[in-house]
């Protein structure tokens, strides 16, 4: 059984003005998602600015999300690292704290060969006994999970169950599904490709859009699963202009601004992220209004 089906939110991490984690606001966000159609919470991913957190902050944030969600939704902890030992240690701790699954991005900067990826993921899976979703996003990491590598890992390592595919390469994704006979939990890592990946057998999406439009993102998946392909497609296409604006600058710069525009202030970005430009802010606000999101 998949860790979740539908729309999982790659939740932002709210900060106080001194850039410490704003746990009160995070608590509010978790409640909001539990009550507005979100199907899973992915904590400390790219959108959560995990790259700027200390390991202590990272694990405190994971533990808090698990405790505050209280089993209402599955919680998937982002515990990837470019150091295999660090990924193992954080993954084990997240599992001990009660994470329902782990999201493990490929090693970044130092990267890895495909053999290195197999060794890396196998080593983490051996010590962290929870369902693992691999995360392939070479545009950020410089390291792609090739279809044959994904297939080998899913077939040979029991608790490696899925992949978040953010390559944007439909041919690659099709090959993954072919080589695994569809026996891999595929999640779209791109909000503009939810329906195409659902058509290939995906279980859902790990979504940035869900931060500001949780019900609509959930409905794209729910309608598809219910056989309303036309309704699902219409929602997907309606969301495209907003999705484009949510990625007009590096994620999570625009989505944090989008939340602020709705009256939910999640505080500053941690450097090297900088605030959204005025021009992009104006375009984002218009796209949100056109989509039907009420601004503050």
- Active centre residues (catalytic): 135, 164
C-alpha–C-alpha distance, residues 186 and 164, integer Å: 6
Residue 67 lies in a domain: yes
Check whether 225 has a pLDDT greater than 90. Answer: yes
Residue 292 lies in a domain: no
Rounded mean pLDDT, 144-152? 98
CB 269 within 8 A of CB 253: yes
C-alpha–C-alpha distance, residues 146 and 149, integer Å: 5
Residue 169 lies in a domain: yes
Check whether 286 has a pLDDT greater than 90. Answer: yes
C-alpha–C-alpha distance, residues 197 and 187, integer Å: 8
C-alpha–C-alpha distance, residues 257 and 170, integer Å: 30
For 57, the token pair is 């902050």
- pLDDT reported for residue 191: 98
Residue 259 lies in a domain: no
- pLDDT reported for residue 1: 83
Is the previous residue joined to 252 through a cis bond, with omega within 30 degrees of 0?
A: yes
- pLDDT reported for residue 285: 98
- pLDDT reported for residue 7: 98
What is the pLDDT confidence band of residue 47, given thresholds at 50, 70 and 90?
Answer: very high
Rounded mean pLDDT, 56-80? 98
What is the pLDDT confidence band of residue 17, given thresholds at 50, 70 and 90?
Answer: very high
- pLDDT reported for residue 13: 98
Q: Which of 140, 197, 150, 254 is nearest to 5 (CA)?
A: 197
Mean pLDDT of the chain: 98
Residue 258 lies in a domain: no
The CATH code of the domain that includes 173 is: 3.20.20.70
C-alpha–C-alpha distance, residues 87 and 81, integer Å: 5
Residue 289 lies in a domain: no
- What are the backbone angles phi and psi of residue 172, rounded to the nearest 5°? -65, -45
- pLDDT reported for residue 9: 99
C-alpha–C-alpha distance, residues 282 and 191, integer Å: 21
pLDDT in tens, 75-99: 999 999 999 999 999 999 999 999 9
**b/e 164-196 (16+ beta carbons within 10 angstroms → b):** bbbbeeeebbebbbebbeeebbbbbbbbbbbbb
What is the residue range of 177's domain? 6-228
Residue 268 lies in a domain: no
Residue 164 lies in a domain: yes
What is the pLDDT confidence band of residue 151, given thresholds at 50, 70 and 90?
Answer: very high
pLDDT in tens, 109-140: 999 999 999 999 999 999 999 999 999 999 99
Q: What is the pTM of this model?
A: 0.97
Rounded mean pLDDT, 225-249? 98
Total tally of structural domains belonging to the chain: 1
Q: How much of the chain, in percent, has pLDDT values that exceed 90?
A: 100
């Amino acid at each position: 059984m998949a860790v979740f089906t539908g729309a999982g939110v790659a939740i932002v991490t709210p900060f106080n003005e001194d850039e410490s984690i704003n746990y009160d606001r995070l608590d509010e966000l978790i409640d909001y998602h539990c009550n507005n159609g979100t199907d899973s919470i992915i904590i400390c991913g790219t959108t959560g600015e995990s790259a700027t957190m200390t390991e202590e902050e990272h694990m405190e944030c994971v533990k808090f999300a698990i405790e505050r969600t209280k089993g209402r939704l599955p919680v998937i902890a982002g515990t990837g690292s470019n150091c295999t030992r660090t990924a193992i240690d954080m993954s084990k701790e997240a599992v001990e704290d009660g994470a329902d699954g782990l999201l493990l991005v490929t090693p970044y900067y130092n990267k890895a060969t495909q053999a290195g990826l197999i060794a890396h993921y196998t080593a983490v899976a051996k010590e962290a006994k929870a369902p693992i979703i691999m995360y392939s996003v070479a545009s950020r990491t410089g390291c792609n999970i090739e279809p044959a590598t994904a297939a080998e890992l899913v077939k040979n390592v029991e608790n490696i169950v899925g992949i978040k595919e953010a390559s944007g390469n439909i041919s690659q994704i099709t090959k993954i599904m072919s080589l695994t006979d569809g026996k891999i939990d595929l999640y779209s890592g791109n909000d503009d490709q939810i329906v195409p990946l659902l058509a290939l057998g995906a279980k859902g999406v790990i979504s940035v859009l869900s931060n500001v439009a949780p019900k609509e993102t959930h409905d794209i998946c729910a309608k598809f699963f219910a056989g309303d392909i036309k309704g699902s497609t219409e929602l997907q296409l309606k969301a495209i202009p907003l999705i484009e604006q949510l990625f007009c600058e590096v994620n999570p710069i625009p989505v944090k601004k989008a939340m602020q525009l709705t009256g939910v202030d999640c505080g500053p970005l941690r450097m090297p992220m900088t605030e959204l430009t005025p021009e992009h802010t104006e375009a984002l606000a218009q796209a949100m209004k056109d989509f039907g999101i009420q601004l503050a």
